[in-house]
Copies of this chain bind each other. A is one copy, B any other.
Amino acid sequence: MNPDLASERQTASFSVEKLTAQLDGGAEHTRIRRAVVEAIECDPVFSRENQYFQSQNERYEAAVRKAVHLQKKMHEMGWTEDGPEFKYIYRALSGDIAFLLHRIFMRSISVLGSDKQIAKWIPLATQYQLIGSYAQTELGHGTYLQGLETTAVFDITTQEFILNTPKISAMKWWPGDMGRSATHTVVFAQLYIHGKCYGVHPFIVQIRSLQDHSLCPGITAGDIGPKMNFEHVDNGYLMLQNVRVPRENMLNKFCEVQPDGTYARWGSQKINYFTMTTVRISLISDEVIIPLMKACTIAIRYSVVRRQSKLKPGEEEAKILDYQTQQEKLLPQLAAAYAFHFINNYLQELFDKVYREIQGKKFDTLPELHAFSSGFKAMVTQYCTSAVAICLQACGGHGYSLLSGLPSLYTKIVASCIYEGENTILLLQTARFLIKCFMAASAGQPVPPSVTYLAAVKPGKCPAKNKLDFLSPDVYAEAYQHMAARLISSTAAKLQDLIQSGVKKTDAWNQCTVQLVQAAKAHCHYITVKNFAETVEKLETKAGIQKIMKHLCDLFALHGIFSNGGVFLHDGYVSGAQMDMVTASYLDLLAVIRKDAVPLVDAFDFTDKSLNSALGSYDGQVYQRLYEWAQKSPTNKQMSPAYERYLKPLLHNTLSKL
Q: Which A residues form the contact surface with B (CB < 8 A)?
A: 52-53, 55-57, 60-61, 64-65, 67-68, 71-72, 75, 127-131, 137, 139-144, 147, 168-169, 171, 173-174, 179-181, 183, 210, 213, 222-228, 234, 237, 306-313, 317, 322-326, 328-329, 389, 392-393, 396-397, 399-403, 407, 411, 414-415, 417-419, 422-424, 428, 504, 506-507, 510-515, 517, 564-572, 576, 579, 583, 587, 623-624, 626-627, 629-636, 639-643, 645-651, 653-656, 658
User: Does A414 lie within 8 Å of B393, measured CB to CB?
Assistant: yes
Q: Are A65 and B645 in contact (CB under 8 A)?
A: yes
Are A630 and B325 in contact, with the CB atoms below 8 A? no
8 A-B pairs in the complex with CB atoms less than 8 angstroms apart: A137-B397, A168-B623, A226-B402, A311-B507, A312-B504, A323-B513, A324-B513, A329-B424
Contact A400 B422 (CB under 8 A): no
Q: Are the C-beta atoms of B646 and A64 separated by less than 8 Å? A: yes
Bound-complex Cα distance A173 to B183 (A): 48
- List of B residues within 8 angstroms of A180 by Cβ: 635, 640, 642-643
A285 CB to closest chain B CB (Å) equals 22
Task: Report yes or no: A227 in contact with B143, Cβ–Cβ below 8 A.
Answer: no
A interface secondary structure, majority: helix
18 more contacts with CB within 8 A, not counting A65-B642, A168-B623, A213-B651, are A52-B226, A53-B225, A55-B634, A56-B633, A128-B655, A147-B317, A222-B636, A223-B636, A225-B632, A237-B627, A312-B506, A325-B424, A326-B424, A389-B414, A399-B418, A400-B414, A400-B415, A565-B570
The one of B143, B168, B324, B393 that contacts A418, using a Cβ cutoff of 8 Å = B393
Q: Is the CB of A651 within 8 A of B128?
A: yes
A639 CA to B57 CA, complexed, in Å: 11
A52 to chain B, nearest CB (A): 5
| B419 and A397 contacting across the interface, CB-CB below 8 Å | yes
Given contacts A328-B514, A627-B168, contact A60 B566 (CB under 8 A): no
- Across-interface contacts of A415 in B (CB, < 8 A): 400
Tell me if B642 and A401 are in contact (CB < 8 A). no
Cβ contacts under 8 Å, A68 to chain B? 646-647, 649-650, 654
Q: Which of A181, A514, A632 counts the most chain B CB atoms within 10 A?
A: A514
A306–B326 Cα distance when bound, in Å, is 41
A400 to B639, CA, bound (A): 34
Given contacts A213-B647, A400-B227, A565-B567, contact A179 B635 (CB under 8 A): yes
Which B residue's beta carbon lies closest to that of A130? B651
